[in-house]
Chains A and B, each alone.
Chain A
Amino acid sequence: MKEFLIEKFLFASSIFSIIVVTLIFLLLFSQGILGFREISIIDFLFGQTWQPTSLVKAEFGTVPLVYGTAVVTSIAMAISVPVGIAIAVYIAEIANPIEKEILKPIVELLAGVPSVVYGFFALVTLATWIQQLTGTNSRLNALNGGLILAIMVIPTIVSLAEDAISSVPREYREGSMALGASKWETIKNVTVPSAAPGILAAVLLGFGRAVGETMAVLMATGNAAVVNFNILDSVRTMTATIVIETPEVAFGSLHYHALFGVALLLFLITFVFNYMAGVIMRRYGRTGR
């Protein structure tokens, strides 16, 4: 009897995750969908203006927000992908044991720094550096957000990519070296290509993390909801919009539902990327957790 109860408890606990994911989706969906009784989905997805409280005409176009997220994330990925993979390769293939012992925990510590701390650093220090280097007037801008986000995504990419590279069978490398390839050629032509699916999964997860990051970009980007294709200009991301406007918009108002709509969009984007990463990991065997 006791065994039976314990098993039931264990089972219930493991079902809990499914319940939570479902609840999150249902909440976002049910609250978000109510907004679409009045906002057309076309306007929501393709509208150029986010003016949710306008007295003239409230507009809920998410293009500026998606643009903000896209530009900050692109900058972050453009830096963190090459840097992350380089560090992963270095740790897995090149570093001597002592370097390895130092690098691995440091990458973990980098992952452990809270995002509000990164945000504060971007706000007070990084922004000043960028302003001094470029002479821009907008202290807080997309580049600032992208750079700090890059630092935050690097640990995710490094740890997963390093797992993937390390789990490439030793025979591959030995075979390549036996054929006269140098260590670098082996890394470039054999090890990294063999680990490609795992590295791709790492990049996808890093991307998901970047899209969903909130506090650091909120504090770093200046939050102007406009599209003007200049990385030294201020942008407003989807996450920043939610955190700025949600605390308590008039409950059940159109604006309230529109914010849940933005969250739903965000949830779906990250869901797709995490799902793809999951599929790749499963298909190509163990490359990380």
Chain B
Amino acid sequence: MNKKLLKQTIFFQIFRMTSALVILFLFVMIWTFISNGIGVISWTFLTDMPKRGMTEGGIFPAIVGTVYLTLGAIVFALPIGVASAIYLVEYAHEGRLVRIINSAIINLAGVPSIVYGLFGFGIFVVFLNFGTSILSGSLTLFIMILPTIVSASREALLGVPKSFREGSLALGATKWQTIRHMVLPYALPGILTGAILAVARAAGETAPIILTAVFFFRPSLPRSIMDGTMALASHIYYMATQHHAINLVRPLTYGSVLVLLSIVLSLNILAIVIRTRYRRRKNW
């Protein structure tokens, strides 16, 4: 029995160490970015144009570009994704079509982001002739985050008890009225969580926007959705590998990483907080 327990303790400690190691890695990584990047973070860095061949100045156009691209993506993805989930949960009957839709969503979720990039490039940039533009990039990101939104929304809708719907229908409400007033409000936190996570993912994506939306350097704000832009994620890639003085601009690169990481991780934390709260309150 003692030997048994000893073995158990050893294994449990190994597992605990493994978990701790991964946490440690995350912290070491984040600490690397903070310690190297915090020095360049300033109001000017956040709100200024890049200057002197991007060796000085700020990253304002990249921040704005990331915001535009992700907003564009979510504007398309949220209505279509939620609508799709509503159909699947509330209207569709189990059958061949639903199975095909489900497997389409699962596969869409597994498509590598570079393939989305190539698709966006082929369809939006070239075929529809939108060029290298915010529109092309947003549409590409929209397709990429669609499965995330559908899955999250579907789970949220499934979490609303059947009795809510039955009660409403019994009172003479139509199906849509029921969904609108008795289902959606309760599914909202779940949908919101999914949407926030999707936005975070879109903000960090690099490969798809390199092929569809961004320029190496564009020190002015976009004036329309047909303009190309800079974006944080691609800016980091360019500064880390393509710039003519990689080492000279390394501090600025760390700074840009820190900004992107802050945005993306804050969104993730926000999503976690919303979900935790909503789970605690959910006691119908």
Direct contact of A and B (CB under 8 A): yes
B55 surroundings in chain A (CB, below 8 A):
none
| A109-B265 contact in complex given A7-B91, A91-B19, A246-B121, C-beta closer than 8 Å | yes
Taking residues whose C-beta sits less than 8 angstroms from the other chain, chain B's interface range is 35 or more
Partner of A182 from the list B4, B81, B150, B203 (CB cut-off 8 Å) is: B4
A275–B107 CB distance below 8 A: yes
A10–B240 CB distance below 8 A: no
| Contacts of A97-144 to chain B: CB distance below 8 A | 99, 102-103, 105-110, 112-117, 119-121, 123-125
| Contacts of B91-131 to chain A: CB distance below 8 A | 91-92, 100-101, 103-119, 121-123, 126
Chain B nearest CB, measured from A95 CB (Å): 8
**Closest chain B residue to A213, Cβ basis:** B112
**Closest chain B residue to A2, Cβ basis:** B176
B12–A116 CB distance below 8 A: no
**Closest chain B residue to A125, Cβ basis:** B32
B79 surroundings in chain A (CB, below 8 A):
13
B211–A212 CB distance below 8 A: no
- Return the CB mask of A69-106 against B: 1 if under 8 Å, else 0: 00000000000000100110111001100010011011
Segment with Cβ contacts to B, from A22-30, A60-68, A226-234? A22-30
B213 interface residue per 8 A CB criterion: no
Q: A17-B108, A113-B26, A117-B204 are in contact. List 20 more A-B contacts (CB 8 A).
A: A7-B91, A10-B84, A28-B119, A90-B16, A105-B272, A109-B265, A110-B22, A115-B205, A116-B234, A116-B260, A212-B110, A219-B237, A219-B240, A242-B118, A243-B117, A243-B207, A247-B211, A270-B112, A270-B115, A274-B110
| A215-B87 contact in complex given A112-B200, A205-B110, C-beta closer than 8 Å | no
Partner of B105 from the list A17, A102, A260 (CB cut-off 8 Å) is: A17
**Closest chain B residue to A82, Cβ basis:** B18
A161 interface residue per 8 A CB criterion: no
A243–B105 CB distance below 8 A: no
Q: Which residues of A contact B (CB under 8 A)?
A: 2-3, 6-7, 9-11, 13-18, 20-21, 23-24, 27-28, 31, 83, 86-87, 89-91, 94-95, 99, 102-103, 105-110, 112-117, 119-121, 123-125, 151, 154, 182-185, 205, 208-209, 211-215, 219, 239, 242-243, 246-247, 251, 259-260, 263, 266-267, 270-271, 273-275, 277-278, 289
**Closest chain A residue to B151, Cβ basis:** A289
A17–B111 CB distance below 8 A: no
| A10-B91 contact in complex given A17-B150, A90-B16, A114-B260, C-beta closer than 8 Å | yes
A18–B176 CB distance below 8 A: no
3 shortest interchain CB distances as A-B pairs: A212-B112, A114-B204, A274-B110
B22–A120 CB distance below 8 A: no
Q: Give the complex CA separation of A260 and B91 in angstroms.
A: 38
Chain B nearest CB, measured from A162 CB (Å): 11
| A278-B260 contact in complex given A110-B26, A243-B210, C-beta closer than 8 Å | no
**Closest chain A residue to B127, Cβ basis:** A27
Q: Give the complex CA separation of A258 and B21 in angstroms.
A: 42
B253 surroundings in chain A (CB, below 8 A):
120
**Closest chain B residue to A9, Cβ basis:** B83
A86–B103 CB distance below 8 A: no
B117 surroundings in chain A (CB, below 8 A):
242-243, 246
B87–A13 CB distance below 8 A: yes
Q: List 12 A-B contacts (CB under 8 A).
A: A18-B100, A20-B108, A21-B107, A28-B119, A87-B19, A95-B19, A108-B272, A109-B268, A110-B22, A110-B26, A114-B206, A289-B151
B21 surroundings in chain A (CB, below 8 A):
83
| A116-B236 contact in complex given A7-B91, A110-B26, C-beta closer than 8 Å | yes
A213 surroundings in chain B (CB, below 8 A):
112
B118–A116 CB distance below 8 A: no
A106 surroundings in chain B (CB, below 8 A):
22-23, 26
